[in-house]
Amino acid sequence: MRHLISTKGWSRDAAISLLDDAITMTARGQTPTERPLADVTVANLFYENSTRTRVSFELAASRLGARVVTVLASGSSIEKGESLLDTAATLEAAGCDVVVLRHPESGAAWQLTQVARTGVRVINAGDGTNEHPTQALADAFTLREAIFGSAARGNGLDGVRVSIVGDIRHSRVARSNVHLLTCLGASVRLIAPPHLTPNNPNDWPATWHTDFDEALGYPTDAIMMLRVQRERMAAAELPDTEAYARAFGLTERRAAVQPEAWIMHPGPVNRGVEITDAVLDGSRSLISTQVTSGVRVRMAALTSLFDVPGRQARRAGER
């Protein structure tokens, strides 16, 4: 694979083989064979705030032996008005092989693939409300390990039922997850208030609900909570936080309705809004595992862009 922009249209085999590659991605190796990207330079180009995505790409690249530079909008020539495309061209001219891009505009990562000169590879680390493919990989990897344990290798998520709850309208995580989870054989239930439901809900391969308590009546294997993404909303869309928490917060009472379900959240969390402390820190929570998995799947994703001997993953994404 040359770029990683979206999880849409992946083949099941390619998705499973990427997840399988991530199983082996734990070493902090020092020998040349454990540093497969020793000749590679990765630029993290972040126009939006990020903690876990940025840190996990930095750690993933450095654990593979790559050199890593991070460019944040604040403190770079972006503040002097340099465009995204010129900034990316500058990074490429300086010798970067991969641009990991986070950008507030949907489609920005794809746009870079259209203009990138010779060899630069692009990974979408979140573009507007569109997609966040490596977060979906982290989530699928985490859930597969929770369900299958040491027998996870080679498995999809057949028959697994996932409920995603909250601000779906502005969530690139939800979109990438729906594509990837359904490609792996899972079924998805999406639960959002009407004003945080996307305009075209029927285009999503999922069942929709506007009432969290009613949706909790259906069996589910995982409940994935989303943050209310205020920074992506117009003032008129902003929900009343207390009313939102009452209707859509995952409390102990609600979590107890599906006592076997794993609890997930891509972070960052607004404690007490979409999820209470007790549920977040409880024994069914996979939230910190999702962060650890994030490093592992990003190592697999970075490796998949290069022809590294011994790598299993087949073509997963576009081109």
List of residues contacting ligand NCD (CB under 6 A): 52-53, 126, 132, 135, 172-173, 227, 229, 266-267
Distance, in Å, from the CA atom of 89 to the CA atom of 94, rounded to the nearest integer, reads 9
> Burial level of 283, CB count in 10 A (0-12/13-18/19+)?
exposed
Instruction: Assess whether the previous peptide bond of 266 is cis (omega < 30° from 0).
Output: no
Q: Which residue is nearest to ligand NCD (CB)?
A: 227
> Of 4 and 92, which has the nearer Cβ to ligand NCD?
4
CB of 264 to ligand NCD, least distance (A): 11
> Of 227 and 254, which has the nearer Cβ to ligand NCD?
227
> Of 129 and 258, which has the nearer Cβ to ligand NCD?
129
The secondary structure of 108-162 as a DSSP string is HHHHHHHH--SS-EEEEEEETTTB-HHHHHHHHHHHHHHHHGGG-TT---TT-EE
> What CA–CA distances, in Å, run from 20 to 89, 146, 182?
33, 14, 18
Distance, in Å, from the CA atom of 126 to the CA atom of 130, rounded to the nearest integer, reads 7
- Residue 236: Cβ within 10 Å count: 6
> Of 92 and 265, which has the nearer Cβ to ligand NCD?
265
CB of 126 to ligand NCD, least distance (A): 5
CB of 293 to ligand NCD, least distance (A): 12
CB of 304 to ligand NCD, least distance (A): 19
> Of 229 and 312, which has the nearer Cβ to ligand NCD?
229
CB of 159 to ligand NCD, least distance (A): 27
